[in-house]
Structure 1
Amino acid sequence: MQVLTALSYTAIVSTIGLFLTGIPVTRRIKKARSSANVSYTPYLAAMISTCLWLKYGILTQDYTLISVNGIGFLLNFYYVVICYSYSKDERAFYYPLLITISAMFGPLLYVKYLAPTYMHAVHAIGYCGCITSTIMFGSPLATLGRVLRTKSTESMVFSLCLMNFIVSVTWALYGYVINDIFVQGPNAVGALLGLVQLLLFVKYPSSGGPGHVYDLAARLV
C-alpha cells in the first residue's frame, strides 16, 4: 500500500508538472498578443487524452486518474482557449477542433448509450486511451527523419522528452501495481519511446553539446 501511495503521488505531481509547462507559453502569447508561432495541436491532443482517461478513472473509480486528468483537461482547455483568442486566423482552428470534439465525444457517447455492459464501456475507453497516450508519447519522434538527416537533435526538446520518459515510467509502474493493463500498456510503450528519444540526444547531440538542456517553455512551439 505504501508503494502504491508513493507511486500515486509521484504520478500526480510529475504529470501535472508536465501539463503546467504550457503556462509560460500562454504568457508569451498574451505578451505578444498573437499565437501565430505556437502550435496548438499538442494541447488539442492532450485534451482528448485527458478527457478519455478522466472517464476511465470515473468508470474504474481510480481517484488518481480522476484528479490528474481532471486538472490536465482544464489546463489544456485553457491553453486552447488562449491560442484561439489570440489567433490571427480563427478558421484554421475549426477542422482540428472538429476532430478533437469527435475524438472525445465519440467514445463518450458510445459508453453512455451503446455499450452493452459495464466491462464493454471500460474496455472501449481503455483502448481509446491507450491509442491517444501512445500518440502523445511518440509525438517528439515526428522529427526523427530530420534528426537522422542532420545528425543533430536540435529540432527536439530534451526537457519534454525527459519529462515524457519520467511520467510514462511512473504510470507504467502504477499500472503494474494496480494490475491494470490499460494503464500499464501504453505507458510501458511510452517509456520505451522516451528512452529511444533520450538515446538520440546521446548519439546526436545538439549544437549545445552533450548534456545541453533546452528551455521547455521557449521550445514548445
Structure 2
Amino acid sequence: MDYLPLLSWACIVFTVGMFSTGLTDLKKMYTSKSADNVQFLPFLTTCLNNFGWLYYGLLKRDETVVLVNTIGALLQILYIVVYFYYTKQKRLVACQAAAAGSVLACGWFYFTAVLPEGETRLSHLGLTCSVFTVSMYLSPLTDLVRHTHTHTHTTLHTDCSLILTSFVFTSKFIINLLFFIEKTNSVESLLGP
C-alpha cells in the first residue's frame, strides 16, 4: 500500500490546523477591538517561513508543500492585516513588516539571481528554510517546557498542533527518502556496477 498520498493529506490537515491556531488571536482582536496581549512577530515570521517553503515547493513541484504554504501565507497575511488594523503601534508594525519584506526580497534575489538553477538552488533553499523553521519553532517548544513546570495551558493547543505537524511532515520526508533510495538502487541494479 502506498502511504504517500495518505501522509500528504495528513500533512495538509495538520498544517492547516496549526496555521489556524491564530484564529483565536484574530477573534480576540475582533471582540476587544484591540491588539493588546497579542504578539505580532509570530505572524510575521510564519508568513516569511510560508513564502520560503512556497518557493521551495514550486521549485520541487511538490503540490502538498505548495498548497499548505499558500493557505498558511494567506492566513498569516489575514492575521497581519487585522493586527495592523487594531494595533496602536502602527508605525512599529509597519517598520517590522517593511524589514520582513526586505529580508524576503533579498532572499528572493539571492536564490534567483546568485545561485544557479537546479539542485544547488533547491538544496540551499531547503536548508535555509529548514534552519529558519527550526529556529522559529524553538519558542513554542520552550513554552511547552514551561507548561510542564507551571501546569498552565494557555497556548498548549499551538504546541500540540506543532508537534503533530512536525511528526507528519517528518514521516512524509522519510517515506520520500526511502522511495528515492529504493528507486536509485533499482536503477543501479538495472545499469550494473
Shorter-chain TM-score: what band?
A: 0.7 to 0.9
Cα pair distance change 1:23/1:165, threshold 3 Å: same
The amino acid that maps onto 1:175 is: F
Deviation string, structure 1 residues 42-71 (Cα, Å, up to 9, x no partner)? 111110111000000000000000000011
Find out whether 1:166 has 2:164 as its counterpart.
Answer: yes
Match of 2:40 in 1: 40
| TM superposition shift of 1:90 | 0.5
Separation in 2 of the partners of 1:143 and 1:18? Answer: 16
Separation in 2 of the partners of 1:69 and 1:83? Answer: 20
Checking the alignment, whether the CA contact within 8 Å between 1:107 and 1:124 is kept in structure 2 is no
The amino acid that maps onto 1:176 is: I
Checking the alignment, whether the CA contact within 8 Å between 1:11 and 1:167 is kept in structure 2 is yes
SS of match in other structure, 2:152: coil
1:179 equivalent among 174, 177, 180: 177
Checking the alignment, whether the CA contact within 8 Å between 2:19 and 2:75 is kept in structure 1 is yes
**Structure 1 unpaired stretches of 5+:** 181-221
Deviation string, structure 1 residues 154-199 (Cα, Å, up to 9, x no partner)? 376322221111100100011111129xxxxxxxxxxxxxxxxxxx
Aligned length: 178
Supply the RMSD in Å over aligned alpha carbons. 2.3
The amino acid that maps onto 1:46 is: T
Q: Choose between structure 1 and 2 for higher RCO, CA contacts under 8 A separated by at least 6 residues.
A: 2
| TM superposition shift of 1:142 | 4.5
**TM-score when normalising by structure 1:** 0.73
Cα pair distance change 1:23/1:151, threshold 3 Å: closer
Separation in 2 of the partners of 1:57 and 1:144? Answer: 29
Deviates more, 1:154-163 or 1:55-64: 154-163
Match of 2:3 in 1: 3
Separation in 2 of the partners of 1:161 and 1:47? Answer: 18
Structure whose CA Rg is larger: 2
**TM-score when normalising by structure 2:** 0.83
SS of match in other structure, 1:179: helix
| TM superposition shift of 1:95 | 3.6
Cα pair distance change 1:165/1:55, threshold 3 Å: same
Checking the alignment, whether the CA contact within 8 Å between 2:12 and 2:64 is kept in structure 1 is yes
Match of 1:207 in 2: none
Q: Which has the higher helix share?
A: 2
Separation in 2 of the partners of 1:3 and 1:34? Answer: 45
Checking the alignment, whether the CA contact within 8 Å between 2:54 and 2:70 is kept in structure 1 is yes
Deviation string, structure 1 residues 86-128 (Cα, Å, up to 9, x no partner)? 1111012134223322332222111222212322221221122
Match of 1:192 in 2: none
Identity of aligned residues (%): 25
**Structure 2 unpaired stretches of 5+:** 179-193
Match of 2:60 in 1: 60
